[in-house]
Structure formats: structure tokens, C-alpha cells
Structure 1
Amino acid sequence: NFRATQGIDFPGMIVDAIQCVKHNDYRHPYKYVLIDEYQDMSRPRYELIRALREQSDFTLFCVGDDWQSIYRFAGSDIHLILDFAEIWRDWGPTRMFQITTTRRFRQSLIEASGRFVMQDKNLYVKHLHNPSDKKDYSLKALGGATQEERFDAIVEQLRKLPKTASVLMLGRYRSDLNLLSRNDRDGLFRIDEHTGKIVFLEKPDMDIEFMTAHKSKGLQRDFVFLLCCSGGLKGFPSAIPDEPLLGLLLPEVERMPHAEERRLFYVAMTRCKKKLFFVVDQSRPSRFMYELHDRICPNIFRGVKLPPQCPNCGEALRLRHAGSDPSRAFYGCTGFPNCRFTQQCK
């Protein structure tokens, strides 16, 4: 352990650095400081920059995107970018410049992903555009009530893609790779579960890789399949709660439900350059699928029907029967027992 070896971890280095600055054991020479990926700033890192400015001021320039703040589990605090002007007001006024031009993905995806993430009214409002792209459909929902049906829908789509295309299979958790590995009845794929590399034997030159949405940040591929568009505990948004003790150590949870999961889904959506495929669990869709279907891009769901949504918790409703009498059918929430909403069939 650290004590036995007189070692120190990286957060400990930051804490020690703060003390060195405050005690003037270190005097900085900086006139200008630039911080990249500012949306990932943690409180200790902010305290270090603050201590440096209090010792001797400098011009501070930060680059970040609040829409891509997805590392609360590692200590990042989105309030440090959302409340930037207030936090640094002791050093004078703040100016914000927005970069709104992107050529990374197509206009239809820009609009759909932007409308989706801006459902969180606490974020900065931004309107991105791609000046060189026409507004075409770069999103498509693939459906299936069973894993086998969703697997078949993925294979059917892969057969239509260029044989040298680059493809990302994205999951919320690593276990989402099971959708491919456990349903490959005919041996269509060769999958390395350690590296995430996938070979589609019908098109061996196709570059296919699986990774989690977190790991995909900063990457781009021609085509992206979001494998986990399901509800439930390990769905997207994830419903796994923080460990109670860990929750005390992490930054404050935002008031809007699933706020960080929404940003993570936005990151996953925007990894593709050409076309994005939502692989929808039609027996228990993600509540994000209902949002896209009902308010943002309903046209991409042709042929993919969603079950009724629970008005209480947002999960899917499922047709159930009381006993063997078919006339006593009702809808029950798939979030049971956490949600006990029921609705009689009309």
C-alpha cells in the first residue's frame, strides 16, 4: 500500500501541490494559462489553479464542452464549467466564445443530437452546423423484441455497408458485447473480447470495434451501432445507483434526472461520420428512445414500434394477464417492483 512504500497517487500529488503553492514553496512564472477539456475539471484541480492565481495572477483561457462532461465517477464537476463566470469573478469579467461549426458529422445528426442534449436546460445553449453538408438522414432505428432479432437486424445492416467501412459497436457497459457474441448462431463473427476487435467474416476488410460509450469519447468512425438502447438496471440511461459511501466523495448529483447519462448518450450519438444506428430493444426500450421517437426524430423509427410508456417512471409498459382469463389483461410497468404503475387495457 501507499503508506508502506511511501508512495502517492495522482490526486494526492494535486493536494500536495496546492500546499506547496500556498506555503510559497513553489513560485510560478506564468502569465498565460490554457486548460483544455475544462468540462472534466475536478474540485482539487480547480483549487490548484485558484491557488496559483492567488499567488500571482495570470490570464486564464479554458476550452471545454459542457455537453461532453461524462466523468463524474472520476471526480469531474460540471458546475465548474457551467458556473465559470461566477467561480472566477474575483479576477474580473469573463468572455465566452462558442465554436459552432463542425464537419465531424452530418447536419441531421447535429440537429437531432443537439435537440436531445439540450433537453437539459442547465446546459449552455449551442446551435452547431456543418456548412458543407446537406440535410440528409444519417440516423436509423433498428428494432427487435428479442436479442436474436436485434442481432439479425445488425447483420442485415452490416451486409449493406461498404466492405471497407469503419464501424463502432458501442455499449453502455462491456457486457453489451454479449448481444453479438452470444447470438452468433452461424459463426458470422470472430470476436476478441479483450481488445473489442470484431471480424465480420463476410466482409473481413471491414474495420469493426466494440467499446463502451465512455471509451469512445474523441473517436470517430464511418458507422456507429448503439447496441444498448434498452431500459432497466444496465440500460441506457443506467439505473445502477452510486455506492452510498462513494456518493459522499463525488461531486453533487445534478437535479435533472439522468443528466450525465444524457450527455453520455450524446457523446455516443456523435461518434459517427456517416450513419448512426440505434439498436432498439422493442420489449423494453430506453426512455431516450421514447424521447427521440416522440419529440425529436420520429421519422427514423419506420417499422420499429415502441410499446406504451409508463407515465410514472418513463420505463416501458408490458401487457400482462391476471390469471388465465384473457379478458383481465392489463399493462404493467417493466420497472416493477420499483414502479407499480398499472393500466387497464381499453
Structure 2
Amino acid sequence: MSEKLPPQPQDLTPPAQLPWLRRLTARLLGRGLNRLRAQHRDSWFLGHATGQRTGHAEGLREGFDEGHAVGYEAGRQVLVIRDTRAEEHGVPGLDDALFDDWRLPLTAELKKRFKADVAARLPAHAQPSAAQWKMIFSDTPSTCVIAGAGAGKSTSLVLRILLLRQYLGYELDAMTVVTFTRESRKDFISRLLQVFSQWQVPLSPVQARELVRTFHSRILPLVRSLPGFSQVRAFETLGSELPTGAEADAESNPFDLRINDAQRQQLNLCYRDLLRASPRFAELIAGLRREAIQLKALEKDHPDVQKRVAVTQLSASRDEELCDTIEDLWFRAGAWPIKGIEPSRETVEINGSRFHFHGHIAELDAWVVLGFDPGENQNYKRPGAKLPVWAEWVIKRTLFQAFCDKPVIWLGNYAEARRLTASLAGDAVAGPGFDYKVKGELAAVPLLDAFVGAAGFIENLGLDVSVAVKGMSFPQGDTDALFFEALSLYWKALEEHLLDQSPPVMTYNRMFALFGENNPENLRLLPDPLLRPMAHLMIDEFQDVSPQIVSWIRASLREIRRRGPDMHAGRAAQHSSLLCVGDDWQSIYGWRGSSPKYFMEFAKAFVSPSTTRVMLTDNYRSHQYIIDAAEHVVRSAPSIAGKKARAMGPAAGECCPVQVQERDEAALAEQVIEHYNRGESVMILFRKSADKLLISNHIQSVINVDSSLPHGQRRLKQLTYHSAKGLQADAVFMLGDCQYVTRSPYKNQVYRLAGLGKSGDPEAFDTAQKEEILRLAYVAITRAVRYCYWHVEKPGADQAGQPRASLQVDGKKVFFEDLRG
């Protein structure tokens, strides 16, 4: 490609001038020649100009070529810098990971040595499977172990701890094993001590209890390390009479909602103070009381109304005598008259007939009718009457519910009346004095108990009570709106009231929130020795974890990583790790705020540079028919993909189908006695305490024999479906179906606020509970080693269409024997 010359100049530059003498000579000579007409001036200038141009052009060309060559060579050694940077300044990214990118230092030689030791010291039936070895030898920062029922996870977890302690030299104070219940903790400690003794590794019971904890016992020391909280007590352990300093080892049951006297005293004192200090709270309580104690209406076409309306006139004719009889019973019980209720036999017209009240409450402008206390003799009759008093009373109540247009307070028992008496007398320290039923709950409970239950559910989901209440909405006239506004006021006041005690008191949920992801600055106040036990965390039954606990775990792991190597200086245990064992099919505590979401989405919830996933599919407890029946019942519930258990235990060769039949307590009792007399262990599972009493009446002889034996030799257990998890028996008897019989508007709202449930599902909690009843049946069936009997009641007319686990039973399958008509 030819080089382009620079453009020609517009004006010619004159040549360089001669010295002045030569210039003068040339000028004189030139003038002479001009006079002689010997030169042509214009030609000279034309030639001079042409020559100058040509010379100039040639000079430029020669100079350009030479300059280009020299400049090009020099330019090859010079970088051409173009500024393509963005105008904004650079901002580093945020490293918010929970773990360092590291691996457990497990060499092939170490693994070989440990396997040989296990083979030599444990019996053949206790040797780990390939999948269990994968769990034991996991070297990644996070490990998720899906372990079905009877999968032998506890033994594998014990061997994992032994590996860390004895073969890698990890200090015990860098580890924590978490179990959920008192029973599972005791069982795990026993196994740990036994295995460590076989290796002759020193481990005292005190060290084992320090290592194996519940979440609740691990959080308390953290709170006590904060300035001003060294003596803080947990609200849930009030009244337990624990010695000073022993609360950290308390084995509280996170699923026990019962309130004892010491706790109730604090609830009532706070209620008294808030009622006096807050006019709005007092107004809300008055509205709730009016709604709670007023007799609930029935539609006139309700079956009970239609059945009893025909005897209206007959019932009215004997009503005054019925009032006399009931008042006499109340008077003898010391429950009548009631201060604040004016005795008055005013009458009201009910469907054309006249009935009587017992009194009037001016403060509420409501009429009072006394009921028949359940503690009285159910066969008690008026003189000459055909029906017992309780039956006459039920007829009257039904007619009042359908046809009375006045506000009526129906006092059904003496205890209810005593609470109302205290409330009307202004004894606020006795509490509100009435029960309240939040929509979606199965029964009414004392108002403050309802406050505790609702607040606990909200906080377990990782939400602040006031913030959650602010995010709710209720239809016009819905008294739950009053309830939750009152709860918001009360819960804030209660937390302040508890902290004002000496020593201060705090709920466990409040403790977890103090060290959750919303309060990372509190974790920074902890000394290394208090945080270090969270470094290598192993959690059993992880499917029952709550969002509140997940937040605390993540915050703790993040803080450990933030502190870096200095936290582990001079120690064998370095970095941090998390190993979680669970089974999403056994997640049955959603009604308390737990969720299997964090186990099912483990890698998303606990982001790690590398995660090991282990599937333990061998079942060492039950035979294949029991496994298949249980999995068939639960299969429609969302679950981790790829799960299919296989029988591997002593009962693996047996094939006895799960027998399903219509509920018959007498037949069930005969089966129980038969299996017990054969020397087998027996477990009876029930849904309601009334069922336990009912079946106990049929098997009293077995109960008497079994209770006389030493504890370790007893072979009969009577438990709720929920409390049976982790246990087993040769023969399991399930009394009652697993049903979801209600819907919870407020829990649906809170579930959405917590980000749980499927997007777009307006009833996310109800959906989760319909899935949970299937998991509950799965847990119950898989308690059986050899035999399982399921006695299912027929659903009533009002239960048609409601979800029930027994609907999943398929009598065409070989693993079911369906004897129902």
C-alpha cells in the first residue's frame, strides 16, 4: 500500500538568502542585464517557482520517507493506551459464604485403618453399609444425609464423631451434636459412651452431655455471656426447680405447649399491668370477652335444631324445674351465686314458648344461663323425669342457640364460672378469665395460652410478632383482628416484663432471635470458646428444624468464618462444617412452625463450595410390606426424589401386610392381648387422649401385668402418633385416622410472610398440613417391625371431603389387607 504525501503548501517559501555582498552584486548585475534586455524577468520567476516547487516536493517526499521509517521503528516500541474504563469507581463484591473452601484431611491410609478398626470392634450387624461409610467419610464443608425410617443413622453419626475425635484429633469442644427431644438425646449419649469405650477413648458422661445437646440448651450460655444477662432464665424452664447453673443442660421439649403455674403467674402479672396502663388493650379485651363467652348461634336448619325443635313446648313446660335443679347443683358446689351476676329468672320467648335465664351481667349487658358441669353424675335426673338433667340441658341450649335474639352467656362448668367471677371482680392478676378460640385451632383455650401459642408459631417462623401482625388483614367484624392487635400489645409488654424480673427471664425464641441473621452484631460479642462448639455441627432430625433455628445456625457459621484462622490457632479442629441428617417423610411438626423446606432445599439454604449428599435407603427395622405400605401412603406428598427403602434387618424375610379395618376397640384389644401374650413388644398409638382412656379400659389386665415389671422389661407402650417417632415395637396398633379437619386463616397469612409454601398458594399452611397428615401416618406405620394394624373410624357427614391419610390405602396392593366394608 503506497504512502500518501502531505498536501502541497499554498505559498512558496523563498529560498534562503545569500550573504549581503553577493546579494548586492547579484542585484546590480540583474538590473544591468534587465536594462540591456539580456534576461526575461517573468521567465526567471516562472522557472524559479517551478524549480522551487519541484525541489520542495522532492524534499518533502524524501523527508517523509526517511521520517516515516525512523518513526515507525520507534513507534513499535511504544504502547498505545486507550482508556476504556467505566466512569464509576470499583466496588468489591460481598463474600457472604458460610464456609471456607476446604476439605477434611482424610487420607486413604486413615480410612483403611478406621475401617479395619470398626470391623474388628463392632459386631457384624453393626458394620456400616457403603452409603453409611460415605456419610462417615464426608470431607466437604456441608453434608446432607437423607435417612429413612430405621436407616441406622445414629450408629453412623456416632462413628463420625469417633473419626473426628480419635483419628483426626479434633477437640470435643469444637463439636456439637443436636437432637430434638429428651428421649433421643439420652439414647444417643448412651450409644456414644458405648462405642467410645470399645475404642478405649476417654469420654465421661459429663463430656458426652456437653457434646450432645438440644438447640435450646446450646443457646442459653450464649445469652448469659452478654453484659447484664449472666443469670438470665428461660421462660420455658420456670417452675422446673433446676439448681443454679443447670438450665444449660435442661432437656426442655420444644413441642410441649403446656403452661405451668410459675409461667402463668408471670403471664397474669403482665396482663394486669398492661390492662391498667393501656386503654386500647382494655378495650380489645372487653370485645374479645364479649365474643368468647357469648353463646354461639346455630342455623335453624342445623340437624341438631331440626331434631330438638319438635320438643320445644315440652322442654319449656319443665324449664323452671330444670333451672331449680341446676341451681341447686351449683349452690352445693359453692359456685352460685356469682359476684357480678345478678340472679334473675327473667324469661325469653323461644319459638313461641317461654324459657328462663338464671341471671344478668350489667357490665356486659348479657343474660346468663347455668349449665350442667361435666363432673356431675351423668345419670342424675329430676324426680319423675325420663331424661337425665344433662340431656334436658342440651335441648335447651340448642333451642337458645337457634332462636334466642338476646346476648346470652352460657356457663358450662364451675371452673369457667370461677374464672369469670375473678374477672368481673376486677382481679386482673387472675388473668382474663375466659377462653378464646382462634380460627383454625381445634379448641378454645385460656386467652393468654392462646397468645403464647400464636406468638410461638409466628416467632418459630423467624418473624417478629408486631411486624407479622402488621402484615395481616381480616374481614370486617372478624374478632381475630381484635385478638392479634391485643397480642401485638401484650407480647411486647410481656418481653419487657420478663426482662424486669430478678434474675431476668427470656423466651427461647427471643434468645434465638438475638443471635439470628438480623442481629449479627450480637454474635461478635461472643468469645471464641462459646462460639467454637458450633464450628463442627451435626444435627439429627433436621427435617423438623424451624426458620428461626435456621437463621441462628447460618448466622453462627457466618461469624465463625468471619473470624478466620485466628479462632482455631493451635488447634487440630480448623474451619467449620455442617452435617444434617433427616427424612422429609418424617416431618410432622409443621403445626408448631417447623418446615421440611430447609432439608429438601439443603444446598440452597446452606450454600457451600462443595456439598456431599448421601441417601441411606436400607431399613434395618421393618420388613418390605410395612415399608411399601408406608411409602404408598406418603407418596403423594412432595418429597426428595429417588427415595425407595429396602428391608435389610432381621425381619426382612417376613411378609405380613398392614391390616386396615373399621374401628373396633374390642377387636383391637383382643389383638393386643394376643401379641403381648406371645412375648412380643406392643405399641398402641392414638390421636386423642380420650382414645387412650377408651382402649385402656379394654386392656387393663395387660396394663397391670406390664406395669409390674422392671422398666427395661416392659413391652407395652401407649403413645400419641407424634411422640412415637424414633421408637419401634414388634406389633403396632394405630387407633384413629390422620386427618386435617380445619383451616387456619392467620397461619396461612403468616406462612406467606415467612416465604413458605408455593408461590401463589393463598392457603400455604393448610396445604402443608394436608401433606403432613400423610407423613404422620408414614411415621406411625414405620414404627412396626413385623405387624401393623390400623383401626380407622368412619367419617361423619360433616367430614365428607376432608383429607384423610386412610384414603391412600389401596386394598389391591399386596402390602395392604383392607378389611373395611
TM-score normalised to structure 1 length = 0.70
Note closer, same or farther for the CA distance 1:255–1:287 as it changes in structure 2 (3 Å cut): closer
**Can you list the C-alpha shifts for 1:190-217, whole angstroms capped at 9, x where unaligned?**
39xxxxxx61779987733322111111
Pick the aligned partner of 1:61 from 558, 569, 579: 579
Which of 156, 161, 171 is the equivalent residue of 2:686?
Answer: 171
Distance 1:204 1:49, change over 3 A: closer
Paired residue for 1:160? 674
Q: In structure 1, what is the Cα distance between the partners aligned to 2:640 and 2:584? A: 7
Q: Which amino acid aligns with 1:14?
A: F
Distance in structure 2 (CA, Å) of the matches to 1:200 and 1:263: 33
Residue number in structure 1 paired with 2:729: 221
Q: Residue type matched to 1:175 in 2?
A: A
- 2:660–2:790: 8 Å Cα contact kept in structure 1? yes
How far residue 21 of structure 1 moved from its aligned partner, in angstroms, is 5.5
Residues 1:190 and 2:700 aligned together: yes
Q: 1:159 to 1:257 in 2, by over 3 A?
A: closer
> Alpha-carbon deviation of 1:295?
6.4
| Contact 2:590–2:769, Cα closer than 8 Å, also in 1 | no
After superposition, the Cα gap between the structure-2 partners of 1:299 and 1:76, relative to the gap in structure 1 and judged at 3 Å, is: closer
Contact 1:21/1:52 (<8 A) preserved: no
1:43 aligns with 2:43: no
Q: CA deviation at 1:304?
A: 2.3
1:266 aligned to which of 749, 774, 778: 778
RMSD between superposed Cα atoms in Å: 3.1
1:34 aligns with 2:544: no
Alignment-derived partner of residue 137 in structure 1: 656
Q: Distance in 1 between matches of 2:766 and 2:624?
A: 30
CA distance, structure 1, for counterparts of residue 556 and residue 660 of structure 2: 50
How many residue pairs end up in the alignment? 280
Q: Distance in 1 between matches of 2:612 and 2:815?
A: 38
CA contact (8 A) 2:542 2:580 kept: yes
Map of 1:1-346 to 2, 5 A cutoff?
1=266, 2-5=498-501, 6-18=504-516, 19=519, 24-26=524-526, 27=528, 28-29=531-532, 31-57=535-561, 58-89=576-607, 91-132=608-649, 133-144=652-663, 150-163=664-677, 164-180=679-695, 184=697, 188-190=698-700, 199=703, 207-229=715-737, 236-242=738-744, 244-245=745-746, 248-249=749-750, 252=756, 253=765, 255=767, 258-282=770-794, 287-293=804-810, 296=813, 299-301=816-818, 303-305=819-821
Structure 2 unmatched ranges of 5 or more: 1-265, 267-497, 562-575, 757-764
With over 3 angstroms needed to count, the CA separation of the structure-2 counterparts of 1:291 and 1:25, relative to structure 1, is same
- Cα distance in 2 for partners of 1:11, 1:223 equals 39
Supply the AA of the counterpart residue of 2:785: K
Encode CA deviations 1:172-229: one digit per residue, 9 max, x unaligned. Answer: 2223225425xx5xxx4339xxxxxx61779987733322111111111221111003
> Is this contact kept in 1: 2:621–2:785, CA < 8 A?
yes
Secondary structure of 1:120's partner?
Answer: coil
The one-letter amino acid of 2:525's match is D
CA distance in 2, matches of 1:21, 1:106: 52
Q: How far is 1:55 from its partner? A: 2.0
**Aligned amino acid, residue 777 of structure 2:** F
Q: Secondary structure at the match of 1:111?
A: helix
What amino acid does structure 2 have at the position aligned with 1:143? E
Distance 1:10 1:203 in 2: 36
Distance 1:44-1:155 versus aligned 2 partners, 3 A rule = closer
Task: Determine helix, strand or coil for the equivalent of 1:239.
Answer: coil
Letter aligned with residue 261 of structure 1: I
Pairwise CA distance, 1:111: 1.2
Partner Cα distance (2:814, 2:806) in 1: 10
> Using the alignment, how far apart are the partners of 1:247 and 1:176 within structure 2?
30
Q: Which amino acid aligns with 1:129?
A: R
3-state SS of paired residue (1:56): helix
Cα drift, residue 171 of structure 1: 1.3
Q: Write the deviation string for residues 254-274 of structure 1: whole angstroms up to 9, x where unpaired.
A: 746611111111111111112
CA distance 1:15–1:4, shift in 2 (3 Å): same
Distance 1:93 1:129 in 2: 29
- Distance change (3 Å), C-alpha of 1:56 and 1:222: same
SS at match of 2:604: helix
Flag the 1:112–1:71 CA change in 2: closer, same or farther, 3 A.
Answer: same
Compared CA separation, residues 154 and 211, structure 1 to 2 (3 A)? same
Whole-angstrom CA distance in 1 between matches of 2:653 and 2:674: 22
SS at match of 1:260: helix
1:88-143 Cα distance to aligned partner (Å, 9 max, x none): 23x32432101111211111101111222222234443111122411511421233
Greater strand percent: which structure? Answer: 1
SS of 2:612 mapped into structure 1: coil
> 1:48 aligns to what SS in structure 2?
helix
- Alpha carbons 2:724, 2:783 under 8 Å: kept: yes
Counterparts of 1:134 and 1:271, CA distance in 2:
17
- Whichever residue aligns with residue 161 of structure 1, its letter is H
2:630 alignment partner, SS class: helix
- CA distance in 2 between counterparts of 1:31 and 1:22 reads 17
Q: Give unmatched runs, 5+ long, in structure 1.
A: 145-149, 192-197, 230-235, 306-346
Contact 2:623 2:647 in 1 (8 A): yes
Q: Percent identity?
A: 23
Query: Judging changes above 3 Å, is the alpha-carbon distance between structure 1 residues 125 and 115 closer, same or farther for their aligned structure 2 residues?
Result: farther
1:78 Cα deviation (Å)? 1.4
In structure 1, give the amino acid aligned to 2:741: A
Amino acid of the structure 2 residue aligned with 1:207: R
- Cα pair 2:660 2:817 within 8 Å, conserved: yes
SS in structure 2 of the partner of residue 161 of structure 1: helix
Q: Residues 22, 140 of structure 1: CA spacing in aligned structure 2 closer, same or farther, 3 A cutoff?
A: same
